Chain A
């Protein structure tokens, strides 16, 4: 069972599940709801280096196109091919099977300095 309270969040409606120097990243249920039926997901290639704040992927729904931003500098360790093949996973299980990428960072301290929110702060942001 996903524990949303353990995750970190960004203002771009992404969540991070941090484990040492790696983070699994996805979009929140709030973002998935706003997008509506997701029909296409484009993710960066494994091994690519990404920069905090830069667009690294695209999440397209029947009515909108959302962007996936890198929350921190790092290297792409994994991209979730299941979500590329079955984009509806983003709607069905945004915190689980609908994850997007895993990033490796040079030092765990970058997570501290990235201005990430905790669950309460994010909940307050989206007004739930």
Chain B
């Protein structure tokens, strides 16, 4: 038997790929193929196979070499103290959180908590986050994170349009809001027919400009001239740093039947009246400064909170409390029917991946500091800002807004450029607004020494300085009395308990121990690609040269980053066969939207404004349809045939009936059914012939890398999921990175950014120019260490593993779809419907029983109800695959026993799964099967057992009794 790996043992690829040559040989023997390339040659259609494997990728580097190269990139970044602000502030990540969350695979290798029984730890962490956001914003219910602040504002706008009774198409935007948010709003509003009207709340009720007399007029900005609108957006405090009372503006908006969306700085809210108290319907923002490094723009957790009555309009994921089979409280994701995979084109948002890992960090920052600790940080910041305001005044500058929290806008009678340059030379980054106006923000890390340096820099007289102290603690005068917060927040015990590092470390361990992540075993989730996130890949994420940079830092400070980004873009273009790549989208859904907006922009640039129809196969991921609607397109569904492939006849008919309006086809390849469709070229040709563009969803690119390129078989644009194919960890449900790659004709319409260091432009899809750069070194390292051959070997190993599982399990569970030669791609769908029919045992029962066997369940009922989709990935070794096969075979036997009447339908190990330790130990055991069978159904579990902390969660109860904040401790007694 020929061995198939081209990688010598000991190099990174042999560590990444779980099956070595011997294991692969024995697996191939079961399948009847000589080699992995022979298997792939049989599985991948000839018409798309790569004819020329030439690649720009450098040969694989070792782990040490890759890190050394990353050090060089890091050395080309320059760390200045970024005081640019605009939603990004330096922060101190408590080391206990960095080490135990950010750098801990128990947290970062977990999946989205769809299986609540094995996810209680991060669900608790997320409900802490939701409670923190709801408390600080003074609103009733918060979701478990958004992608970033600016996209959260867009989601707020869309929510306002859905919920408002107004017929207006106008959304009013506060003139004093962040520039990146304004740019994103403009790009997104246009596509869905919303008209933006910018409105300045600077003028006071008596008609005077508040600049001269800010303090007195702050409370009553004029709302005269506000047009009819369905929603209003207010930045609080303003982008300029100005603190003002928006209550009157919000009330005026409500009178017109509109909803008010307020972007608020959570740290400021420890001192300022909350948006809820001011009348806001929706609050959005970022939690970055709660201990999450700036990372040159991300990833960070955005947030959204709403008042009661709007909870069912909330986009994204929401954690709620339900109960398990024993009646104990249990956390779960709630209102899941609202997600796109069910609502499809009727979905109200295309957000799926959130920013769980970062939300966990931000929530834990609040847990660690507690309400008084957070307030103390905010007071230090604002008193330091006051000190600098005095220094600036003393230096002859004018403070433009007399009410502020952490940000000062200075008018200087000298040159703004000169001041910015002097600051730069002293190690600080200020933000230049125009020739005479500069702004800067103080943050948690600003030290006493820095304040003195800054005061001198601003021209303060040393003699005057001696009389004041940067350490004063009274917060009075510069924040209007009426805006000082008096309401309580973070009163739940979880925010008032874990003050010592020992306590915090143990709390994080306690939560992590409840969860099942890749550090315990295989997570065979079809379509999710839960592969290795190698330790070396993760190394650079927390290096200060990558973590500490502000997204709007000057180009000369971020050259290392820009070089890494440029290189990564060229590599991704190479492996996909495209010309241009943008790394800006923060998730696959955002990549889809960016790609579709590029198609829209292209058609419109040619005068084809009527091309708005997006064809989507019925097998597509629901996000596709949701993204199309948000790109201003109309979805027309194309049917699939009995084999699960796109029905070519129906495709041609749909093309014909929409010939003039055809904008695009969105197709996933290999299909969401895990099959290499033979007819893909005929499909893409038919669309092109009719003047349409082809969007190939790259969700399954990991089954193609090194064997075929999207751009070579008809793709015009694709998004990739770096968090799937390219090893960025799932983080328990985010971060994600969803780059969009396109042919040259679409390149001008790919995301750009007004504040980008290079080639700024006006169609952003994220708040930051390069999305989430601090996690790009992960993907860079993966590609660098694999090389073209390693990537190809990984594809081969993934396809081999999926086919091996299909072959071994086929006699126990029918494999629903396969392609040419009876082969699947990188995943396979087991059809449980015949089993359910025969025995009453459901997909849920099998999924939950797998927990008792020590596995995370495969993907349930997607893309076909009543099935399980299994994706082993290339990273699992043969022992783990065999352990999974043994579990599935044993479960089949258990189901047959139920079917044969040996065990009652409502009292058997499947129906009662999962079994907690308590359920088999406490009380009388009166089930018709043994305790041993319940929890140790196979012998290997005796030495390695995962114990689920709760029993099966009651989904319906949780949806009917919505409760989405930390429950009182008594609930668990």
Interface residues of chain A, those whose CB is within 8 Å of chain B, are 37, 39-40, 60-65, 87-88
Interface residue B342 (Cβ < 8 Å from any Cβ of A): yes
Q: Which residues of B are found within 8 Å of A61, using beta-carbon distances?
A: 337, 956
Interface residue B343 (Cβ < 8 Å from any Cβ of A): yes
Q: B342 near A63 (CB under 8 angstroms)?
A: yes
Describe B's contact surface by its main secondary structure: helix
Closest 3 pairs between A and B when the two form their complex, measured CB to CB? A39-B959, A37-B956, A62-B955
Q: A65 near B343 (CB under 8 angstroms)?
A: yes
Q: A62 near B312 (CB under 8 angstroms)?
A: no
Q: Which residues of B are found within 8 Å of A87, using beta-carbon distances?
A: 960
Report the nearest A residue to B343, measured CB to CB: A65
A124 to B337, CA, bound (A): 30
Report the nearest B residue to A85, measured CB to CB: B960
Least CB distance from A38 to B in Å reads 8
A40 to B334, CA, bound (A): 12
Interface residues of B in 291-340 (CB under 8 A from A): 312, 336-338
Of the A-B pairs whose beta carbons lie under 8 Å apart in the complex, a sample of 13, sorted by A's number, is A37-B959, A39-B956, A39-B959, A40-B312, A62-B336, A62-B955, A62-B956, A63-B337, A63-B342, A63-B861, A65-B342, A87-B960, A88-B960
Interface residues of chain B, those whose CB is within 8 Å of chain A, are 312, 336-338, 342-343, 346, 861, 955-956, 959-960
Residue from B343, B346, B959 in contact with A62 in the complex, judged by beta carbons closer than 8 Å: B959
Among B337, B342, B343, B346, find the residue whose CB has the most chain A CB atoms closer than 10 A.
B337
Least CB distance from A49 to B in Å reads 16
Q: A60 near B960 (CB under 8 angstroms)?
A: no
Q: Which residues of A are found within 8 Å of B338, using beta-carbon distances?
A: 60, 65
Among A37, A39, A40, A64, find the residue whose CB has the most chain B CB atoms closer than 10 A.
A39
Q: A60 near B955 (CB under 8 angstroms)?
A: no
Q: A64 near B955 (CB under 8 angstroms)?
A: no
Q: Which residues of A are found within 8 Å of B312, using beta-carbon distances?
A: 40
Q: Which residues of B are found within 8 Å of A64, using beta-carbon distances?
A: 337, 342
Q: A37 near B342 (CB under 8 angstroms)?
A: no
Residue from B343, B346, B861, B960 in contact with A39 in the complex, judged by beta carbons closer than 8 Å: B960
Q: A37 near B955 (CB under 8 angstroms)?
A: yes
A61 to B336, CA, bound (A): 9
Among A60, A62, A65, A88, find the residue whose CB has the most chain B CB atoms closer than 10 A.
A62
Least CB distance from A94 to B in Å reads 16
Q: Which residues of A are found within 8 Å of B960, using beta-carbon distances?
A: 39-40, 87-88
Q: Which residues of B are found within 8 Å of A88, using beta-carbon distances?
A: 956, 960
A95 to B59, CA, bound (A): 69
A40 to B960, CA, bound (A): 7
Q: Which residues of B are found within 8 Å of A65, using beta-carbon distances?
A: 337-338, 342-343, 346
Least CB distance from B186 to A in Å reads 31
A87 to B959, CA, bound (A): 10
Least CB distance from A62 to B in Å reads 5
Least CB distance from A61 to B in Å reads 6
**Can you add 15 more A-B contacts, CB < 8 Å, to A63-B861, A65-B342?**
A37-B955, A37-B956, A37-B959, A39-B960, A40-B959, A40-B960, A60-B338, A60-B959, A62-B956, A62-B959, A64-B337, A64-B342, A65-B337, A87-B960, A88-B960
Report the nearest A residue to B865, measured CB to CB: A63
Q: Which residues of A are found within 8 Å of B956, using beta-carbon distances?
A: 37, 39, 61-62, 88
Q: Which residues of A are found within 8 Å of B955, using beta-carbon distances?
A: 37, 62
A111 to B868, CA, bound (A): 45
Least CB distance from A41 to B in Å reads 11
A65 to B341, CA, bound (A): 11
A121 to B100, CA, bound (A): 63
Least CB distance from A58 to B in Å reads 9
A39 to B959, CA, bound (A): 6
Least CB distance from B139 to A in Å reads 20
A37 to B312, CA, bound (A): 17
A88 to B956, CA, bound (A): 9
Least CB distance from A27 to B in Å reads 16
Least CB distance from A53 to B in Å reads 16
Least CB distance from B711 to A in Å reads 37
A119 to B593, CA, bound (A): 46
Q: Which residues of B are found within 8 Å of A37, using beta-carbon distances?
A: 955-956, 959
A78 to B146, CA, bound (A): 39
Report the nearest B residue to A35, measured CB to CB: B337
Least CB distance from B308 to A in Å reads 15
A66 to B610, CA, bound (A): 31
A63 to B860, CA, bound (A): 12
Least CB distance from B116 to A in Å reads 12
Q: Which residues of B are found within 8 Å of A39, using beta-carbon distances?
A: 337, 956, 959-960
A81 to B282, CA, bound (A): 27
A63 to B312, CA, bound (A): 15
Least CB distance from B361 to A in Å reads 31
A8 to B342, CA, bound (A): 29
A68 to B928, CA, bound (A): 44
A60 to B955, CA, bound (A): 13
Least CB distance from B858 to A in Å reads 17
Q: Which residues of A are found within 8 Å of B342, using beta-carbon distances?
A: 63-65
Least CB distance from A47 to B in Å reads 14
Report the nearest B residue to A42, measured CB to CB: B312
Least CB distance from A28 to B in Å reads 20
Least CB distance from B577 to A in Å reads 38
Q: Which residues of A are found within 8 Å of B337, using beta-carbon distances?
A: 39, 60-65
Q: Which residues of A are found within 8 Å of B336, using beta-carbon distances?
A: 62-63
Report the nearest B residue to A38, measured CB to CB: B956
A37 to B342, CA, bound (A): 15
Q: Which residues of B are found within 8 Å of A63, using beta-carbon distances?
A: 336-337, 342, 861
Least CB distance from A110 to B in Å reads 28
Least CB distance from B957 to A in Å reads 9
A88 to B959, CA, bound (A): 11
Least CB distance from B836 to A in Å reads 14
A100 to B336, CA, bound (A): 23
A65 to B337, CA, bound (A): 6
Report the nearest A residue to B312, measured CB to CB: A40
Report the nearest A residue to B347, measured CB to CB: A65
Least CB distance from A92 to B in Å reads 12
Least CB distance from A74 to B in Å reads 22
Among B343, B346, B959, find the residue whose CB has the most chain A CB atoms closer than 10 A.
B959
Least CB distance from B693 to A in Å reads 30
A65 to B861, CA, bound (A): 16
A88 to B346, CA, bound (A): 24
Least CB distance from B623 to A in Å reads 16
Least CB distance from A3 to B in Å reads 29
